[in-house]
Amino acid sequence: MSDAHAGDAAGLEVGFFLDWIERTASAVAAEKERLTSLDAAIGDGDHGTNLDRGFTAARAALEAKPPEFPGAALVQVGTTLISSVGGASGPLYGTVFRRTGKALGEAESVSARELADAIAAGLAGVQKLGGASVGDKTMVDVFVPALDALLAGLADGASVDGAFGAAADVAESAARSTIPLRARKGRASYLGERSEGHEDPGAASAALLWRALAESVGGRAR
Amino acid sequence: MSDAHAGDAAGLEVGFFLDWIERTASAVAAEKERLTSLDAAIGDGDHGTNLDRGFTAARAALEAKPPEFPGAALVQVGTTLISSVGGASGPLYGTVFRRTGKALGEAESVSARELADAIAAGLAGVQKLGGASVGDKTMVDVFVPALDALLAGLADGASVDGAFGAAADVAESAARSTIPLRARKGRASYLGERSEGHEDPGAASAALLWRALAESVGGRAR
Amino acid sequence: MSSMKKLINSPESVVSDALAGLAAAHPGLTVDVERRIVRRAAHASTAGKVALVSGGGSGHEPLHAGFVGPGMLDAACAGEVFTSPVPDQMLAAAQAVDAGAGVLFLVKNYTGDVLNFQMAAELLEDEGIESRSVLINDDVAVEDSLYTAGRRGTGATLFAEKIAGALAERGADLAAVAGVAERVNATSRSFGIALGPCTTPAAGQPSFQLGEDEIEVGIGIHGEPGRRRAPMAPAAELAGLAVEAVCADLDFTGDAIALVNGMGASPLLELYVVYNEVQAALKSRGVSIVRNLVGNYVTSLDMPGFSVTLCRADADLVDLWDAPVNTPALRWGA
Amino acid sequence: MSSMKKLINSPESVVSDALAGLAAAHPGLTVDVERRIVRRAAHASTAGKVALVSGGGSGHEPLHAGFVGPGMLDAACAGEVFTSPVPDQMLAAAQAVDAGAGVLFLVKNYTGDVLNFQMAAELLEDEGIESRSVLINDDVAVEDSLYTAGRRGTGATLFAEKIAGALAERGADLAAVAGVAERVNATSRSFGIALGPCTTPAAGQPSFQLGEDEIEVGIGIHGEPGRRRAPMAPAAELAGLAVEAVCADLDFTGDAIALVNGMGASPLLELYVVYNEVQAALKSRGVSIVRNLVGNYVTSLDMPGFSVTLCRADADLVDLWDAPVNTPALRWGA
Ligand SMILES: Nc1ncnc2c1ncn2[C@@H]1O[C@H](COP(=O)(O)OP(=O)(O)O)[C@@H](O)[C@H]1O
Ligand SMILES: Nc1ncnc2c1ncn2[C@@H]1O[C@H](COP(=O)(O)OP(=O)(O)O)[C@@H](O)[C@H]1O
Ligand SMILES: [Mg+2]
Ligand SMILES: [Mg+2]
Ligand SMILES: [Mg+2]
Ligand SMILES: [Mg+2]
């Protein structure tokens, strides 16, 4: 059990996803001020408040109307984020969750690999919506390498725990790697070269999301 | 000459009054910031600027149209102050000078005693206009004791220099004596007890005027 | 809070420069920049109408120049920042706009304004032009006693200018126009709270210092400190304080016209929050707001804060309030 | 400069509280405080009229809710402070005000606004209601390149709302109303300068730090720093900078409509000083201002500073500009 492998039959069920959202919501709440102050430096200082409002609403929505399968949970989270966050991150994160959820369909249990593929669909949705590529200093800068790491880890036959853990590590270092970049999307792009030297707030929040995911995977294993 | 006495025949001519205004204007310019910051504490922070604007205008008016006799000089100064200062101090100081000047009539030369009596008329004008009595924390708190000291000095047969010098000393200490008072007139009265502990700006400027007068008297004697 | 940085060319030229801008922006006004007199453009027909003239220190914009135009003032005189204008200005303004029916001076009760308008009225009498002066003294933060210069004139000035202006426009005579201005003043009260100081261009320093959690309660409009300092509190409490002070002084039970006025640097978003609390507090006291203004009308440069002004609203006053007005800062029905 | 002290009850309730105040103050508006939608009061007859819907983050008041009313917007959606509203709001607003002739969304070009309005438009299509969206992107401080999110929408939003609103009122169809909004946007440019930061209620900290003699040049309306920092300078120079930036980007020779806009905490006195310099600088470039606004219209909470917006003024646009409008913040001819 503690050494679940990529090919493991033990799938991720709806409880796992509720746990992921719960952990994400807690992490966002805990890091709210840091996210907001990152946004104040190169944006408008609301990213932490925005996401905290959104994940608080998502948590409440999941409690009010408990979803029956993983895809439904993520679609519900995405829809709630879209309806409650606003700003750039609302539609973008909302789309990540909605598309990921839709890709999971109505399965009651999904494998790690299926989840990774679904996240790829979510990421594609965000890139289509926001038009950002890697290097534009956005959340995409975290999602792309983290997902790559996850896929690679799962393909290597590493443990599921290890694959998600490695993906979270990559996400965190990818977030820090946005520091020297000049923003080309979103509000920070208005600053031109003055956006250099600051971590992108959306990249920072994406790293929280990946870490929460890894923790849920780890927690499940225990 | 250096010991001109109250009874002295040597009168004060128009040049003396021009000198007085010149010295007053210089003193006001030099003390502008102090007057303004006294006013900021218990008023609206414009007293120094107001008087500086007024005496600069008065100086210019006297140069543009040199008066022929003492009374004309002071009326001209008063009229200019009224037309250029505004606020409370414009009409009040304007009235002091106008009434003092009018009281001097068309005499080419006036005695120290005649000047003191004329200032008494100016003071009466201000008190009628503004309704302030001694203790209300205004310029009147300086004018009344300074004039009393001047009249007393002249009556005692002290030297003219000495009488005016003593009046200026009294004026300066009277200005400081406004510090503990609670204002009952003008803008500072809005503060009620919070006006206590601050020197009244109009009292401070009145002391400058009395000191300039004493210096003109002293300068004349040299 | 207040800033030393200002959008000016120099403290000396700020009033003239602003008047030049006002002239350029409003073709409906004739502005004598040198003498600092703003009046309705020459073409406005006002024959036989009582002329309304007001004025005061600058720094309270849009008061007064922003209220010159059909339905309101005929002329306004601008002094230096926070300094009453001089009698020459008031005299010249009155002479320029007198249309044979006399002049009403609307004067905020400050020693400087009172004395300068008084001198102007005397000079005007010498010119054979009849005038009346109405003193506005609505600020309940100041005790009206022998021991003060009396209550300050603040927000009610706008009410008096609007309502007397409307009556003058209808052809009422000087006594009637002065009478309604007096009635407005007698039935209006104001109270203000500042969250910080303001900075005059000349001083270049904040008018007072406040701690991060302090406010000034009972402030005027010249950056003077208030009657007392208090700890910062939610909008509901601050609005309650102002409403309490105003209503303790005069019974407003019934209908009222209300002004929730920004002192200059408080965002409109916040002023609407305050309005919401003010109307709720009034409702619970049986006061119903039938007309209102929310915004920066009688300001104190860059001071953050607000004031509340109420005027008892009988049908006559409301009718005059609703009459058309067309000025830079207040416009409806035209 | 910006203050931590605010006239609010809590950062969480500031938008709702302000909307409740707006509702109480303006009987001509119907305000759904919970869903944060402001629209014209039900009785206004708009059958067959193209409906104009705008919205955006709060903190820019009077934009947008202050421009709802006859002659201008049909509805406005308010987001959290500096945060775009959500698609549900825009959808509900559009459904409420659609009068059968379709809906024009006027959208300031920020990623958040664009994405949320885009989602709303998709949802609206599902409901069988036709819509068009016009992006406003007038701020020349932002390079319009592949390397940015494109130019921000600022002062031209007011111009588009007024002018498209007037055309809609005249019964033009959706394509025509969208067309004129696009034309206004294409012929408008803005540039802003801040003397200090602003403070959002949630952050409670100034959005940036400036030295006593520094300014931010090329700022937006969300407290973001500008393109560069510069030393403080006289109003004439700052106005010149803004005029230069605007005119370098588009030739305004001829007639123009001008907005000299306060960012929130700069006194009106100073804005008139700026207006004076702006009109002089324009005159020397052969640009003549035929209509103007001076005041706080598109603000950034308590930020001190100003922006200049110009729109090329042909006879059609001026005619639409002059058409009656009756909203809380813009009113004439009615
Ligand atoms: N076009 C885009 N594609 C992907 N992510 C984006 C895009 N634009 C902005 N973002 C992300 O959104 C974050 C800002 O979110 P937030 O502050 O909540 O919204 P807003 O910028 O509207 O205030 C940025 O840090 C960035 O990571
Ligand atoms: N009624 C009065 N009688 C005499 N002096 C007065 C009266 N009111 C005010 N003053 C004096 O005027 C001074 C303030 O002058 P100033 O600051 O120039 O005018 P303002 O108060 O209009 O700004 C006060 O310090 C006080 O000495
Ligand atoms: Mg943001
Ligand atoms: Mg003063
Ligand atoms: Mg003064
Ligand atoms: Mg935002």
Mean pLDDT value of segment B160-174: 97
Residue C105 lies in a domain: yes
Does the distance separating the beta carbons of D62 and C273 come in below 8 Å? no
What pLDDT sits at residue C45? 62
Give the mean pLDDT of C253-279.
Answer: 98
Instruction: Identify the band that residue C122 occupies on the pLDDT scale cut at 50, 70 and 90.
Output: very high
- What is the Cα gyration radius of chain D? 19
Model confidence at B109: pLDDT above 70: yes
The rounded distance, in Å, linking the Cα atoms of A61 and A78 is: 11
Domain spans, chain B: 12-219
Separation CA C164–CA D211 (nearest Å): 47
Nearest to D161 by CA among D208, D217, D227, D108: D108
Identify whether residues C164 and C249 lie together within a single domain: no
With residue D52 as reference, give the H or E element that holds it: strand D51-58
Task: State residue D148's pLDDT score.
Answer: 77
Q: Which of D142, D173, D204 is the last residue of a domain?
A: D173
Closest C-alpha to ligand 1, atom 16: A47
- Cβ contacts from C onto D, under 8 A: 196
Burial of C56 (0-12, 13-18, 19+ CB in 10 A): buried
| C97, C103 Cβ separation under 8 angstroms | yes
Domain that holds residue C273: 188-320
Coil/strand/helix, residue C172 = coil
User: How far lies A101's CA from each of A33, A70, A118, A120, B120, in Å?
Assistant: 29, 7, 7, 11, 94
Ligand 2 atom having least distance to the Cα of C111: 8
Contact A90 D227 (CB under 8 A): no
Torsions phi, psi for C135 (to 5 deg): -90, 130
Q: Give tens-digit pLDDT for C304-331.
A: 999 999 999 999 999 999 999 999 999 9
Order the strands of the D75-81 sheet from edge to edge: D29-32, D37-40, D75-81, D51-58, D103-108, D131-136
Strand segments, DSSP code E, in C180-240 are 188-194, 214-217, 228-231
Q: Look at residue C287 in the predicted model and tell me its pLDDT.
A: 98
What is the number of other CB atoms lying within 10 angstroms of the CB of residue A189? 24
Domain assignment of residue D235, yes or no: yes
Total Cβ atoms within 10 A of residue A124: 14
Dist. CA A62–CA A76, nearest whole Å: 7
What mean pLDDT comes out for the span A145-152? 98
d(CA A119, CA A103): 8
Please name which of D272, A76, A7, B11 lies closest in space to residue C78, comparing C-alpha atoms: D272
Query: Is the CB of residue C35 less than 8 Å away from at least one CB of chain B?
Result: no
CB atoms within 10 A of CB D127: 11
pLDDT at D142: 86
Hey, what amino acid is at D240? G
Q: For all residues of chain B together, what is the average pLDDT?
A: 93
Is there a contact between B86 and C83 if contact means CB atoms under 8 Å apart?
yes
Is residue A221's pLDDT more than 70?
no
Neighbours of chain B (3+ CB pairs under 8 A): C
**Ligand 1 touching residue A138 (CB < 6 A):** yes
Query: What is the D83 CA–ligand 6 centroid distance (Å)?
Result: 4
> For residue A7, what pLDDT is reported?
42
Q: Which protein residues have a CB closer than 5 Å to ligand 4 (ion)?
A: B 39, 43-44, 46-47
Q: Residue B56 corresponds to which tokens in the numbers above? A: 């600069």
What was the pLDDT predicted at B180?
97
D175-211 as b/e: b if 16+ CB within 10 A: eebbbbbbbbbebbbbbbbbbbbbbbbbbebbbbebe
Give yes or no for a contact between C173 and C101, defined as CB atoms under 8 angstroms apart: yes
Residues C34 and C128 in one domain: yes
**Average of pLDDT values for C73-83?**
97
**For residues A50 and D79, what is the distance between their CA atoms, to the nearest angstrom?**
11
Mean pLDDT of A155-179: 96
Kindly state if the Cβ of B96 falls inside 6 Å of ligand 2: no
DSSP code for D147: T
List the single best residue of D269, D289, D293, D327 to mutate versus C (max C Cβ within 10 A).
D269
Q: In this prediction, what percent of chain B has a pLDDT beyond 90?
A: 88
CATH number of the domain that residue C284 is part of: 3.30.1180.20
* DSSP secondary structure letters along D302-330: TB-EEEEEEEE--HHHHHHHHS-EESSS-
Task: Check pLDDT > 90 for residue B192.
Answer: no
In a domain, D258, yes or no: yes
Q: Tokens 């003699």 identify what position?
A: D213
Return contacts of A133-136, CB within 8 angstroms, 24+ apart. Answer: A135/A181, A135/A184, A136/A181, A136/A183, A136/A184, A136/A185
* C60 labelled catalytic: yes
For D133, list phi and psi in degrees, rounded to 5.
-120, 135
Token pair 């991150």: residue = A89
Q: What is the mean pLDDT of residues C46-75?
A: 96
Cα(A25)–Cα(A22) distance, integer angstroms: 5
Cβ neighbours of residue D21 under 8 Å, at least 6 residues apart?
C271, C272, C273, C274, C275, C276, C277, C279, C294
Size of interface B-C (CB pairs under 8 A): 119
Q: What are D250-274's pLDDT values in tens digits? A: 999 999 999 999 999 999 999 999 9
Q: Are residues D64 and D159 in the same domain?
A: yes
Give domain status of residue D328, yes or no: no
Distance CA C103, CA C132 (A): 6
Q: Are residues C158 and C192 in the same domain?
A: no
Which residue from C259, C320, C329 is spatially nearest to C292, judged by alpha carbons? C259
Based on its alpha-carbon atoms, the radius of gyration of chain C, rounded to whole angstroms, reads 19
Asked whether the beta carbons of D87 and D96 are under 8 A apart, the reply is no
Please tell me the distance between residue D17's alpha carbon and the centre of ligand 1 in angstroms. Answer: 27
Q: What is the dihedral of CA C116, C122, C128, C133, to 10 degrees?
A: 60
The Cβ of residue D286 has, within 10 Å, a number of other Cβ atoms equal to 11
- Beta bridge partners, C77, equal C37, C55
pLDDT at A175 over 70: yes
> What is residue C277's three-state secondary structure?
helix
- CB neighbours of residue C145 within 10 Å: 11
**pLDDT score at D46:** 74
* Other chains touching D, judged by 3 or more CB pairs under 8 Å: A, C
DSSP class of residue D274 equals H
Q: Let me know whether C222 and C301 are in one domain.
A: yes
Q: Ligand 1 pocket test: pick from A31, A35, A36, A92 the residue with the most ligand atoms within 8 Å of its Cβ.
A: A92
The whole-angstrom separation of Cα D155 and Cα D184 is 11
Spatial distance between the Cα atoms of D203 and A200, rounded to a whole number of angstroms: 17
The reply to whether D6 falls in a domain is no
Q: How far is C166 from chain D (nearest CA, A)?
A: 17
pLDDT at C218 over 80: yes
pLDDT band at A4 (very low <50, low <70, confident <90, very high): very low
pLDDT score, position B2: 39
C132 sits in which H/E element: strand C131-136
CA of C308 to the centre of ligand 5 (A): 23
Decide if pLDDT at C44 tops 70: no
At C272, is the pLDDT very low, low, confident or very high (cuts 50, 70, 90)? Answer: very high
Which ipTM value was assigned to this complex? 0.93
- Given a cut of 50, the residues of chain D with pLDDT beneath it are 1-2
Domain boundary among D123, D148, D173: D173
Chain B residues touching residue C191 (CB < 8 angstroms): none
* Residue C182, in any domain of the structure: no
Q: Give the Cα separation of B85 and B49 in Å (integer).
A: 9
End position of a domain, from candidates D110, D145, D173: D173
pLDDT above 50 (res B82): yes
Euclidean distance between CA atoms D90 and D74, whole angstroms: 12
Active site residue C26: no
For ligand 2, say whether the CB of B183 is within 6 Å of any of its atoms.
no
What SS3 string covers chain A? Answer: CCCCECCCCCCEEHHHHHHHHHHHHHHHHHHHHHHHHHHHHHCCCCHHHHHHHHHHHHHHHHHHCCCCCHHHHHHHHHHHHHHHCCCCHHHHHHHHHHHHHHHHCCCCEECHHHHHHHHHHHHHHHHHHHCCCCCCCCCHHHHHHHHHHHHHHHHCCCEHHHHHHHHHHHHHHHHHHCCCCCCCCCHHHHHHHHHCCCCCHHHHHHHHHHHHHHHHHHHHHC
In this structure, is residue C9 part of a structural domain?
Answer: no
Residue C3 belongs to a domain = no
Query: Domain B12-219: which CATH class?
Result: mainly alpha
Give the CATH number, domain containing residue D83: 3.40.50.10440
D214 and D168 within one domain: no
Q: How many domains does chain D have?
A: 2
* First vs last C-alpha separation in chain A: 8
Q: Which residues, at least 6 apart from C171, have a Cβ–Cβ distance to it below 8 Å?
A: C48, C49
For range C223-242, the mean pLDDT:
93
The protein residue whose alpha carbon is closest to atom 2 in ligand 2 is B130
> With touching defined as 3+ CB pairs under 8 A, do chains C and A touch?
no
State which of D86, D108, D111 you would mutate to test the pocket of ligand 1, scoring each by most atoms of that ligand within 8 A of its C-beta: D111
User: How many angstroms separate the CA atoms of B190 and C229, rounded?
Assistant: 14
Bond into C62 cis (ω within 30): yes
Neighbours of C48 (CB within 10 A): 10
| In the predicted structure, residue A173 carries a pLDDT above the cut 60 | yes
The yes-or-no verdict on residue A6 having pLDDT over 60 is: no
Decide: B34 in ligand 2 pocket, CB within 6 A. no
